[in-house]
Structure formats: C-alpha cells, structure tokens
Amino acid sequence: MQTSDLKIISAAVRKDIIKMLGLAGSGHPGGSLSSVELLVALYFNHMKFNPNNADDPDRDYFVLSKGHVCPVLYAVLAQTECISGDELCTLRQAGSRLQGHPAKDKELPGIEISTGSLGYGLSIGAGIAAGLKQAKKANRVYVLMGDGEQQEGSIWEAAMAAPHLNLNNLCAIVDDNALQIDGETKKVMNIQPLAQKYKAFGWNTIEIDGHDLDAINAAYAAAKSETNKPTAIIAKTVKGKGVSFMENLAEWHGKTPSKELAEKALAEINATLG
Amino acid sequence: MVEVFGKKATRFGFGEALVELGEKDPKIFVLGADTVSSVAINGFQEKFPDRFINVGIAETNLIGMAAGLAVAGFIPFAATYGVFASGRPWEQIRTTVCYSNLNVKIGGSHSGLMVGPDGATHQALEEIAIMRCLPKMTVIVPCDLIETRKATMAAAYFAGPVYIRYGRENVPIITKPETPFEIGKANILRDGKDAAILACGTMVYESLAAAEILEKKGIKTMVIDIHTIKPIDEKAIIDAAKECGAIVTAEEHQIFAGFGSAVAEVVVRNSPVPMEFVGVNDTFGESGEAADLIKKFGLKDVNIAQAVEKVLKRK
C-alpha cells in the first residue's frame, strides 16, 4: 500500500480512537495515538493477517505488550474489517469483546493472548517465535511495547533469550514516546540508551521516527531480511500524536476527552486530510 | 504395615512421563530454568533437544515463553523448583497463562519440607494456596512416583493450565500401575467409619501409617488420596463426612489456604463435621534431613493419629 493510503488509514484510526475513548469515558489516548503509524504500516503492508480468518495457521502473530493501548489495535482491526466499526462503540462496556485491556477469553478475532500487565509481551513473543522455528514455519512474530515498560525486569529476561535462541523471526517494536503515568520516563527511571541496550543484548536494532511511514516500512522490511538475530525497532514517537492539546503531555496517558475536546480533536485530524 | 513397593522420588515420575509423551507427540515442548537435572527433565532434553529450552535463571521468562509456545499450538511443560515455579512468576501465571486459559503445564519440583538441608528458601510450602486460587488452574499433588507419572501423562491432555507438585526426596511407592487415576477423582485407599483422613502428596503414606496405629487402638479410619486439589472431588469429601462424621486433613504445606482449607470449603458448605488440620503451621521450614524435619514439624503418622483422636472428641 502507498504511503498516502496509509496516511488516510492512520487518520481514520486516530478518529476512531478519539470516538471510542470519548464514548467509553475511560482509557488511554496518549499511547494509543503514538502507536498509530507503527500498527497501520504493520497490518496493511507487512504482517500476514487474514481478516476473514484471524486464526489462519499461516498468519504472522501480533502481541500487544502495552495492552492499555488496545484502542489503537481495535481501531486497526476495524480498518481491516476484521471487526465492525459499530463494535468499536462498545469499548469497556459490560459484555463487550473490547475489554479495557485485550482479553483472549472474549474471543475477539486478532487477539492472540490477554495482555495489559506490562513487561510480559516480549517473553510471549519469544515463545511463539521459538515454537514456529521448531515447527520450521516461516510465520513472523511482532511485539509492540512501550518505553515505560522497559523498566520491567521480565523484558530483559526475554531480551536475553531471543538472541540466544537466534529468533530472527521475532520483531520487537518499542513505541518510545518518552512519557509514562508519573511523567517523563527519563525522570521516573531512565531506560536510555535503549537501542544500545538491545544491541548489547545481541539484537539487530533500528532507530526510526515512529510517525514516518516510509521509515517504518523500511524498518519492517529490514527486520524480515535479518537472517540471524531478532530485531528491535526503537521508534521515537510523540505521545498523543495528532491531537495538539494531548501531544507530549503525560496527563493524557489515561484520561479521555470531553465531548467538546473530542470534537476539537476530530476536527484537527480531519484538517490533516486536506 | 503399609504395603510399599520400593522408594523413589516423584520427580522421576514426572521426567519419565515427559519422555514418553515426547515420543508420542511432537507438540510436547519442555522448558527448564537452570535446574534441569534436579527437576528430572534432563531425559527429555537429551532425547528431544529441539523441543527443549533452558531459559536460565529467569522464571518470568520461563512462564512467558511457555505461554507463547502454547499460543503457537504446543503443549509446553515448564518445570523448576516449586518456590520459583509458582511464586516468582505468579502474576505471569495469573494474567498471561490462566486469564488466556493457555495449555501451559507447570511442574513444581522440590516441594515441601523434605527438600531438607537447603532450608526454608527452597522449601515450597505455599504453592497449593497460590495456585488453587487462580481461575482456570488445575492443581495436582500426586502421592508417589507412579501417581506422578500418571498425573503428568493426564495433564498433557487436560485442557488449560495445570500445576503439578512433586518432590526431590525418595518417598515410598504406595500405588500400583493399575491403581486408577483420573484428574479430579479421589482414590479411597482404606475403609473405616470412625474418622476419615484426607491427604495429598507425601502425607498419603503417613496417613496410611496413621490408620495402622489407630487400628491397634480400635479406631477404624478411612484414608483418601485426594491427588487433585482443584477441581476437588466434592462427592468423595461429602461422602466421607457423612460416613465418618469427622475429618482430618494432612498436607506437607502451610495449613492456611492449602489443601485442608480446600477440603473445609467443601465440608462446611455441604456436610459440616469436626475437622483437624495437619500441616505446616504458619511457619517457615529450616535445614535438616527430610525425616528429621517431618518429625520436627509434626507431619508424621503419629501426629496424624493424634489429630484423629482429637477430632473424635468433638464428633
């Protein structure tokens, strides 16, 4: 898909995130908005994903380690037509398949495993990747993490294992928006230099601007051509990207917009479409 | 005398079953955490190296990778010492494995005081409690080598997460290959109407020995091996309560929230009768030889017999 088309889809995903969270009245807009391009490019240009059969044995696997940003995943799944746009309006309501954090037991297509407790996704991805390798299958595994959850020790247990097991079918993506609930990641507990850390652990590392679709496409392509190591894409992003009053503000980590602010946000996103 | 068919550690039953499973089923995968030989999964490692991962001393990754393997369609068994298999990665087991109802089987070796000289840090005495409270989790505490082998075979094809608690020390073999084993179904090993002793794991043997002691005093006790703590065999417990009117539970585990508590939950709801609990009484273990510790902490046949005599006074 052309970059221009991915941009249009990204804008639609951003609008859905705002609408869903506005309706739900709770949830996490900041990190959802910072991950948009990373997921749109992945689902529309790189990942083997069949929206009509999300359990296709030939699929690539996606694990949302930063489970709190599931609105972006739900919105992307709706764009693939794997789930309906109407269902997005049920986010966080009783009986909905769209739980506040992704839930395997609700059987929403495209959710491989329940996530939301931070720091677990990389191990899960490494396990899937190890299984696929043993079965001599070519499917790939993608894990999206936040920068804040790099503070979890369990991430580094997995970061050690994946290169040791030569899991070149594993691609980790860090949405490095530099903010967490309590403020700037570097002030709460500095995790930088992240790329050097992954490199030292034995990963193929790629640093990009996480909103530059061409750079994202190139990074995913480079990860696929890596024959020996797992790849870590460290994507510098802006928390709340695309909504001026949310950008780079930790307070929008877990706060939803009022009706008026949601309308303002939607108008801003519409304006970017020209 | 209790009929015994030799002595061997339950860990070897776990390891032997894995090799047998591995031969039959290419979906069996085993993960260890630097304790491979001591928890007896080295046989599988040698035979099926491409279906074995040693994650090193990294238990959260042990469970996380097992979860991933289950997502990829494998039947992963992750095993290490019980303290580290259940406690360290507890939240991964809760949120990643159980909440997603994944087919992950966890082997918790080195359970109980009988780990001996290593002392309290390595004596797992809380796993039954912290595993049985998890939705979707099945918890099995086999009583000997043969039952551990059967439990491991059965766990592989029992849908969802399973925790199997086994041990390092050589313990008497008291069941036979033909003894029935079904997850969730207790085995009555001895009949009696005065009181019922309900036991799991290593305490099944001690309970049978206690019944012998009591027999000499004219007290006839029923002994039930409740190898599956969850889902527990409610019918067997209710029947025992009704028939005997008094129950003693025995476990090599903390009394609080463990096996005895699980039995009590059934008893008080259905057929309340006086109960006594034999187990570790809200304290940590310590270094020592297994036999000495069992004696010191009051987990011997005589202690169980005393508990029966005590409960009979309230019957």
Nearest to A105 among B51, B72, B99 (CB): B99
Q: What is the distance between the alpha carbons of residues B34 and B37, in angstroms, rounded to a whole number?
A: 8
Long-range CB contacts (within 8 A, 24+) of A216-222? A216/A37, A216/A38, A216/A41, A216/A42, A217/A3, A217/A41, A217/A45, A217/A46, A220/A41, A220/A42, A220/A45, A220/A46, A220/A171, A221/A46
* Pairing outcome for strands B162-165 and B105-109: parallel
Number of helices and strands in chain B (H, E): 12, 14
Chain B residues closer than 8 Å to A135 by CB: 72-73
The reported pLDDT for the residue numbered B280 is 98
CATH architecture group of domain A3-271:
3-Layer(aba) Sandwich (3.40)
b/e per residue A74-113 (b: at least 16 CB within 10 A): bbbbbbbebbeeebbebbbeeebbbbbbbbbeeebbbbbb
The reported pLDDT for the residue numbered B113 is 97
Q: If DSSP codes are grouped into helix, strand and coil, which group holds residue B296? A: helix
Q: What is the H or E stretch that residue B81 is in?
A: strand B75-81
Chain A residues closer than 8 Å to B100 by CB: 104-105, 113-114
Q: Do A134 and B71 touch (CB under 8 A)?
A: no
Please tell me if residue A107 touches chain B, with a CB cutoff of 8 Å: no
Mean pLDDT of A192-200: 98
Chain A residues closer than 8 Å to B51 by CB: 134
Q: Do A113 and B76 touch (CB under 8 A)?
A: no
In tens digits, chain B (315 residues) has pLDDT values of 899 999 999 999 999 999 999 999 999 999 999 999 999 999 999 999 999 999 999 999 999 999 999 999 999 999 999 999 999 999 999 999 999 999 999 999 999 999 999 999 999 999 999 999 999 999 999 999 999 999 999 999 999 999 999 999 999 999 999 999 999 999 999 999 999 999 999 999 999 999 999 999 999 999 999 999 999 999 999 999 999 999 999 999 999 999 999 999 999 999 999 999 999 999 999 999 999 999 999 999 999 999 999 999 999
Q: What pTM did the predictor assign?
A: 0.97
Query: What's the token pair of residue A123?
Result: 């191990």
pLDDT surpasses 90 at A65: yes
CB contact set of A188 (below 8 Å; sequence gap of 6+): A148, A151, A180, A182
CB contact set of B162 (below 8 Å; sequence gap of 6+): B104, B105, B106, B137, B138, B139, B140, B155
Q: Do B72 and A117 touch (CB under 8 A)?
A: no
pLDDT surpasses 90 at A210: yes
pLDDT band at A128; cut points 50, 70, 90: very high
Return the closest-CA partner of residue B75 out of B24, B3, B117.
B24
Nearest to B60 among A113, A135, A154 (CB): A154
The reported pLDDT for the residue numbered B204 is 98
Chain B residues closer than 8 Å to A105 by CB: 99-101
Chain A residues closer than 8 Å to B29 by CB: 131, 134
The reported pLDDT for the residue numbered B267 is 98
The reported pLDDT for the residue numbered B117 is 94
Q: Do B61 and A112 touch (CB under 8 A)?
A: no
Q: What is the distance between the alpha carbons of residues A253 and A157, in angstroms, rounded to a whole number?
A: 27
Please tell me if residue A157 touches chain B, with a CB cutoff of 8 Å: yes
DSSP letters for A141-195: EEEEEESGGGGSHHHHHHHHHHHHTT-TTEEEEEEE-SEETTEEHHHHH----HH
- Residues above pLDDT 70, as percent of chain A: 100
Nearest to A113 among B61, B67, B76 (CB): B67
Q: Do B67 and A160 touch (CB under 8 A)?
A: no
| Residue B291 amino acid letter | A
Chain A residues closer than 8 Å to B58 by CB: 157, 160-161
Selected for mutation to probe chain B from A62, A63, A108, A114 (highest B CB count within 10 Å) is: A114
pLDDT band at A39; cut points 50, 70, 90: very high
pLDDT surpasses 90 at A163: yes
Q: Do B71 and A112 touch (CB under 8 A)?
A: yes
Instruction: Write the CA distances from B125 to A9, B12, B78, B138, integer angstroms.
Output: 54, 21, 19, 18
Is residue A197 packed enough to be buried (19+ CB in 10 Å), middle (13-18) or exposed (0-12)?
middle
Q: Do A113 and B71 touch (CB under 8 A)?
A: yes
- C-alpha distance from A97 to closest chain B C-alpha (Å): 14
The reported pLDDT for the residue numbered A127 is 98
Q: Is the ipTM of this complex over 0.95?
A: yes
Nearest to B68 among A123, A157, A160 (CB): A123
The reported pLDDT for the residue numbered A206 is 98
Residue ranges of chain B whose CB lies within 8 Å of a chain A CB? 29, 50-51, 53, 55-56, 58, 60-61, 63-74, 76, 91-92, 95-96, 99-102
Query: What's the token pair of residue A31?
Result: 């990190």
pLDDT tens per residue, range B7-27: 999 999 999 999 999 999 999
pLDDT surpasses 90 at A273: no
pLDDT band at A216; cut points 50, 70, 90: very high
What are the beta bridge partners of residue B225?
B187, B199
The reported pLDDT for the residue numbered B61 is 98
Return the closest-CA partner of residue B17 out of B170, B152, B156.
B152
Q: What is the distance between the alpha carbons of residues B78 and B65, in angstroms, rounded to a whole number?
A: 9
Q: Do B61 and A103 touch (CB under 8 A)?
A: no
pLDDT surpasses 80 at A274: no
Selected for mutation to probe chain A from B25, B28, B62, B100 (highest A CB count within 10 Å) is: B100
Domain ranges, ordered by start, for chain A: 3-271
Backbone dihedral region of A119: left (phi > 0), alpha (psi from -120 to 50 degrees) or beta? left
Mean pLDDT of A186-211: 98
Selected for mutation to probe chain B from A136, A140, A154, A166 (highest B CB count within 10 Å) is: A154
Chain B residues closer than 8 Å to A157 by CB: 55, 58, 60-61, 64
pLDDT tens per residue, range B142-187: 999 999 999 999 999 999 999 999 999 999 999 999 999 999 999 9
Q: Do B65 and A124 touch (CB under 8 A)?
A: yes
Q: What is the distance between the alpha carbons of residues A182 and B207, in angstroms, rounded to a whole number?
A: 55
Q: Do B65 and A115 touch (CB under 8 A)?
A: no
- C-alpha distance from A179 to closest chain B C-alpha (Å): 25
- C-alpha distance from A165 to closest chain B C-alpha (Å): 9
Chain B residues closer than 8 Å to A130 by CB: 53, 65, 68-69
Q: Do A153 and B68 touch (CB under 8 A)?
A: no
Residue count of chain B: 315
Please tell me if residue A112 touches chain B, with a CB cutoff of 8 Å: yes
Q: Do B61 and A157 touch (CB under 8 A)?
A: yes
Q: Do B61 and A114 touch (CB under 8 A)?
A: no
